[in-house]
């Protein structure tokens, strides 16, 4: 499915990309090839094939979330450079 320069320029504008004429021609060719490949994939018969999100058998390597006890306020504030009334004291961001 060959794309026109106007179609590629429209997509580039939507993506907020400024393309030169050379880049526009390159993108036109590359996007046209991608669309041709997608058309080829649409011809594949997938009747009876279950939808799959992961085909490599990977498992999560993350540890499970385990609820643990929280730190006390004194433990949290122990290394604070400044604190007052049980809260972190920070320098003002805005001057009045």
Tens digit of pLDDT for each residue in 77-96?
999 999 999 999 998 888 76
Provide the pLDDT for residue 52: 82
Contacts 24+ apart (CB under 8 A), 17-23: none
Q: How many CB atoms lie within 10 A of CB 8?
A: 22
State pTM to two decimals: 0.50
Of 73, 95, 70, 71, residue with least CA distance to 84 = 73
Query: How many other β-carbons are positioned within 10 Å of the β-carbon of residue 28?
Result: 20
């Amino acid at each position: 499915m060959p794309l026109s320069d106007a179609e590629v320029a429209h997509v580039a504008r939507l993506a907020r990309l400024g393309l030169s004429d050379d880049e526009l021609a390159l993108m036109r060719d590359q996007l046209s090839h991608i669309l041709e490949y997608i058309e080829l994939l649409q011809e594949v018969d997938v009747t009876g094939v279950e939808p799959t999100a992961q085909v490599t058998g990977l498992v999560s390597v993350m540890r499970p979330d385990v609820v643990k006890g929280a730190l006390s306020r004194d433990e949290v504030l122990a290394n604070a450079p400044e604190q007052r009334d049980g809260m972190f004291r920070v320098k003002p961001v805005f001057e009045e």
